[in-house]
Structures are given as structure tokens and as C-alpha cells.
Chain A
Amino acid sequence: MGGILPPAERHSSALLGVFAAISLLLLVMGDRLPTSGLRGLGAWIFTPLDRVVLFVDRMAAAWRENRVLHARLAELELENQHLRSAGVENQQLREHLDLPPWPNLNLRPVEVLALTGEPIPTAAILSAGSRQNVHVGDAAVTDAGLLGRIGEAYPNQSRVVLLTDPNSAVACEVESTGVLGVLRFAFSPRPRLLLSGVPNSDTVRVGQRVLTSGLSRRYPRGIPVGVVRSLGRDPSGLMQEVEVAPAAEISRLRHGFVIPQTEPVRGMP
């Protein structure tokens, strides 16, 4: 074949052969390569460019959000007064029942610089890294609910593995009933979040809120994850298939918060 083709085409065919061989090799063993450092370098290069591209969008959004947030702030001030007294009451009751106190979540504000994955984002780059005390395993949230956990921490940026990553799993409970399950992302037959491992005997209703259960110890308990959207049976017929609509708007992320892990949890696999 090399003799039939003209020299220029032989060169391009050889180039394609080399690139195809490298790609196939990467497909077979690419997951074993330490690529985290390269992604860190990429995040470092892209951070200022992301900020420039997002500047106009963020300014317009900030203008709109400012008006909404003023109204919301007034509402929340009133609600906060009520919750403070309820919190004191809750703390006293937990003390009487010898239950451990609820942990105080220390929120670290961060900017979401970029999203990865089509059509559903599976990861996000945040504007804070290990120098800002953001570590692998920390939970990432928005004001609406859970986003995921820090998968890689670079010096000044970090990468969040979102709930929509196929390798992500979150131990959850259904609010008020305490039904437990594990939240995973499924691509088939269409992309959606599923609460798996819920027995048929457990009662779950559409519209109920799903929160982190704290059982996996990766996430603090009580962070909103989503709302039950629909119910069905899993293919085995033994468990329920609970579809959950995410609380956080994953397609439109601008800002978020990182919740540092508590000391005993850090270092867990």
C-alpha cells in the first residue's frame, strides 16, 4: 500500500496509524496513568481564560441575582429567628436523649470556573485548592444542595466529582421517613439520578426530599440532595427504583461552597 500512495498521503496515513495506535493503547491502559498532574496544569492554564469568558455572563447574572437576593435576605432573616429558637430546643432535647450534637458546617465559598462532560456535566473546576485548605474528599455544595466531592486538589484549583459522574455514590435518606439508599447516576435508558437499594417494603412518595444520611461518612448528614421525582421497580423486581431530581442546578453553576471533612473521616479510601 505504501508504494501505491503518493509520498504526502503515505506520510498522513503513517501519522494516522501512529495516532490510532497511541489512542488504542490509551483506551486499554489510560485509566492506570497518573493524569491528575496534567489536569492540574490544564486547570492552572485555563483558570484566567475561564474567568475572562465568564465575566460578562457573571456580571449580568450578578445584577439580576442581587435584586432577588435582597428580597430573599429579608425573608431568611425572619425565618432565621424562628429557626434559632427551634435549634436551641433541638439541642436541649438531643442532650436529654444523649444524642451527639449536629456538627456545625464550616462553609468555604468558591467560584465554579468550568464544567466537564457532555451533555451532562460530570466534573467542575473550583477556584480554590490545597493552598486554600480544600482537600480531596471534601463535600461541595450550593445554596440549593449537594454537588459532589473534591476528587482532585491542585495548589489553587480543585476538581469536583459531581453527583452525575457514573463512579459517584452517595449514601442518602428520605427525609421524615428515614428510608435509606445509595444515590448513583445511571445513563440507561436515559441519564438520571437513582436512589438504589430501597426495598419494596419501604414507603417512598413522590415529592419527598432526599438528604445525605451520613452513613458513608464521606458527607455530613442532612445536606439536601434532591426530591423524589418518580418511583418504579428495578429490573430484579426486589428493590424500588427511585428517581431523584437533583436539588442543585448542575447545568448552571456559578458559585458553591466546600465543606471540609471532619478529622476522623479524612484519609478514608
Chain B
Amino acid sequence: MKAVAAVVVFVIVTLLLRSTALTALAARGVVIDVLAFATVVWAMRHGESGGTTFGFVLGIAADLDAAHWMGRHALLLALLGYTVGRLSHTLVRDSARTQCVLLFLATVVHQTWAAAFEFGGVQAWPHLLQRVILAGVATAPLGTLLLGILRRVSGQSLFSHAALPTRTAT
């Protein structure tokens, strides 16, 4: 029950941010892909089952909001949640570099997939490429920074099962 409530709250916060605070930035061409960010963070924290479920629920909600092409966000975010969840067993999840790379890749894949439904023809590729790269470049460092701040504020690892090995004094 607690897990369901957490998923619902996180989904609502994500969609709220997407439809209010981030729309002005997105309309200027800088998409902060909060859907990919939330899915990656959830999957890193809760593994592949949690990541898949969260990605699917978040995707369905985003699809309903968009009113076109139902299922496009749900499919990809579920896949992203699963993949990141699987990878998180072998990666050092508290490493900023890992987080940055995962967020960049997730954003690029998600944006390419979402844009593929909107853009048609080879002539749209330059704009598509620009949008996807800009989104990746904006989301990955910002997301990593946010995770770093959250880690500092909470004073503990966000992804407790794979903390970085602490340096011991020699």
C-alpha cells in the first residue's frame, strides 16, 4: 500500500512539474525530460520490477494527458525502467558519472521515440537531432546535480544497495 502511494505521489509530482514549471523552457527548445529522469531514478532505487511498473504508470498518465498516440510513452518508459533496473545491479549507482550517463542515454532514447511520432521525413532530422541532443545535454547534468543535492540534504545514499566504496585513511 505504501509503495502504491509512493508511486502515485511521484507520478503526480512528475506530471505537475512537466505541465507547469518546465513548459516555458520546453517551448524555447530546452526540454528537461522529467519523465525519463523520474523513471531512471525510480528504477535505480527499486530495481527492474519497480522501474518497469513505475515507467508504465507514468507513461500511461503522460499518454492520457497528451491525448494522441496512447501507449507511446508507456511502452518506452516501461522498457527504460526495466533496462535501468537490470543494469543497476551491476553499476555503482551512487557515482555521479553513472547517473549522468544513464540519464543522458535515457533522455536521448525517450526523446527520439516520442519525436518519431510527431516528425515525418528525412527533412525533419536536423531539427529532431538538435532537440534530442539538447534535451540530453540539459537533463543529464541537471538531474545528476539534483541527485547530488538530494544526497547531501538527506545525508545518506539514495541508492543504498550500491554505495561507492569509502576511502580509508592510510
Q: Which residues of A contact B (CB under 8 A)?
A: 8-9, 11-13, 15-16, 19-20, 22-27, 30-31, 33, 35, 38-39, 42, 45-46, 49-50, 53-54, 57, 114-123, 125, 159, 166-167, 187-191, 250-252
Contact = CB atoms under 8 A, between A and B. Distances in A.
B26 A119 contact: yes
Contacts of A20: 75, 78-79
A33 B121 CA distance: 29
B117 to A, nearest CB: 9
B74 interface: yes
Contacts of A187: 118-120, 124
Contacts of A45: 12
A16 B20 contact: no
A53 B14 CA distance: 12
B23 interface: yes
B27 A120 contact: yes
A31 B70 contact: yes
10 contacts: A19-B56, A24-B71, A25-B71, A26-B60, A26-B70, A115-B20, A119-B27, A121-B26, A122-B68, A123-B67
A9 B114 CA distance: 28
A9 B48 contact: yes
A121 B23 contact: yes
A15 B53 contact: yes
Chain B contact patch, size range = 35 or more
Contacts, number: 149
Given A16-B79, A187-B119, 4 more contacts: A15-B82, A35-B70, A159-B67, A167-B68
A117 B35 CA distance: 12
Contact of A50 (B19, B49, B71, B74): B19
B71 A114 contact: no
Contacts of A23: 56, 59, 71-72, 74-75, 78
A188 B78 CA distance: 28
Interface in B1-47: 12, 15-21, 23-24, 26-31, 47
Contact of A53 (B20, B30, B78, B126): B20
A169 B159 CA distance: 49
B49 to A, nearest CB: 4
B20 A54 contact: yes
B16 A53 contact: yes
A118 B24 contact: no
A13 B23 CA distance: 34
A14 B166 CA distance: 37
A180 B51 CA distance: 52
Nearest to B115: A187
A196 to B, nearest CB: 16
Contacts of A120: 26-27
Contacts of A30: 63, 69-71
A125 B118 CA distance: 21
Contacts of B126: 189
A251 B28 contact: yes
A25 B63 CA distance: 13
B93 interface: no
Contacts of B55: 19
B79 A189 contact: no
Given A35-B70, A189-B121, A190-B124, A42 B27 contact: no
A174 B21 CA distance: 35
